[in-house]
Chain A
């Protein structure tokens, strides 16, 4: 998986950071990036409202343990810091994949990466399994990057007295650390 771009959105959906870490994507105009950020923010929120129902009742999607705090208290071990569960999580196309990570405070980290690897005809029989495996693998990789991104954000952005909350991030140290991650 190759990471093309990293965006960070504040809780109002404003684009506060963008870094095209690897070439491969067409550059958009500055305004288009803002529109993209705002749109993803909106679609993410709407998606959270689209939930399957059975006989008019919402079905709880219990993919994640909801006793995570109890596990944290009991084990003292780091848990998954992604709180994006019912919102838009990923978009997959033939040309790129896009992943969204959201913190409990409402900040969004967005990754645009290379698409899922092509599954050849030979593997047709196992296509579903293989595809899912690759998919999960890439999703897990993205989540791993998010986890580190969030930590360096809390170090190099939050502890910089020259950064104002919700404003664009200009820290050169943060840029360096982002490059080290991907």
Chain B
């Protein structure tokens, strides 16, 4: 399948998405993160939590646009889900296509590697200070985890999402770990075949 997917979400991206300059998004997100750091007195665990919560709320809503603009069907495997997330989902919302790797043997856990630059972290550096607390605790792009968790829950997939690496912290790459807990079969709406 992957060989034939060279188009990714290109056609939808080109024709069905209203586009803006990514810098406005980058600066706006930066403003939000900085504000949360102030609101929580630099308690970065709280900041991560809040970003995750905001992302979750976004995910619950964003899934509708995703489905409306793509016509994605229920996936048969989690591998298919991950491919759709990366090639269609990330493409039409953030105009990037993360790579998927590091599959566990049971095909329920995998990693999304975000390309650089990406619209959340462009121009961003964590402050250089004598205390490395911020670069040990803050997951700057945590909102993405919430978005994925919320969106997948709406299509009856219970998934854990978290960051394991972030270039901003000095890691070699930015990596999100996805783990499928279960498919909520009882909640799948009647009428699909």
**Which of A's residues lie within 8 Å of B, judged by CB?**
11, 44-45, 47-49, 60-61, 66, 68-70, 72-81, 83-88, 102-107, 147, 150-151, 153-155, 158-159, 165
Q: Which residues of A contact B11 (CB under 8 A)?
A: 75-78
Among all A-B residue pairs, the 7 with the closest Cβ atoms: A87-B191, A79-B71, A106-B189, A154-B65, A76-B7, A45-B190, A158-B61
Known: A69-B75, A69-B84, A80-B71. A74 touches B64 (CB 8 A): no
Within 8 A of A (CB), among B43-99: 60-65, 67-75, 80, 83-84, 87-88
- B4 contacts A by Cβ under 8 Å: yes
Give the interface SS of chain B, mostly helix, strand, loop or mixed: helix
Taking A11-B189, A73-B87, A158-B62 as contacts, is the C-beta distance between A103 and B71 under 8 angstroms? no
Q: List 9 A-B contacts (CB under 8 A).
A: A72-B88, A73-B5, A74-B1, A74-B4, A75-B11, A78-B12, A78-B70, A102-B191, A154-B65
CA distance A72 to B87 in the complex (A): 10
- The interface size of chain B toward A, counting residues with CB under 8 Å, comes to 38
- Which residues of chain A have C-beta atoms less than 8 A from B75's C-beta? 69
Which residues, 1 to 45 on B, are CB-close (under 8 Å) to A?
1, 4-5, 7-13, 16
**Given contact pairs A69-B80, A74-B7, a sample of 12 additional A-B residue pairs in the complex whose CB atoms are under 8 Å apart:** A44-B190, A76-B8, A76-B88, A81-B69, A83-B73, A83-B189, A105-B64, A105-B67, A153-B64, A153-B68, A154-B69, A165-B61
